[in-house]
Amino acid sequence: MTESVVDVHENTDEQRYDLMVDGDLGGTIVYRDPRPGVRQLVHTEVRPELGGRGLSGVVAKAALDDIRTKGWKVVPTCPYVASYIDKHPEYAELVVDR
């Protein structure tokens, strides 16, 4: 079995991060930018047939790394992203103070 090629990129037109698996759209994290310098991660989805491969974590990490690179803060509305941050405290400083 060959290893899949996985890539994540920001799709600004659709306001989402696209998870590409072997060149096909495998999942997304939908976002909103409620104010300058703040990105709200609203919903994470990975195609069911790709489940169990850790791909939700791949797209969450890529989105959070992008937000960090921009110097922005995050509002993790998506339960998956909130849980991911809880399990990866290195991202906790990105969360907007409530």
Taking the CB of residue 81, how many other CB atoms lie within 10 A of it? 26
Q: What is the largest CA-CA distance in the chain?
A: 46
Partners of 6 in the beta sheet?
Answer: 21
**Percent of the chain whose pLDDT exceeds 90:** 93
Q: What is the pLDDT of residues 76-95, one digit of tens each?
A: 999 999 999 999 999 999 99
What pLDDT is recorded for position 4? 84
The whole-number average pLDDT for the span 62-85 is 98
Q: What is the pLDDT of residues 5-33, one digit of tens each?
A: 999 999 999 999 999 999 999 999 999 99
Domains of the chain and any CATH numbers: 6-94 (3.40.630.30)
88: DSSP letter: -
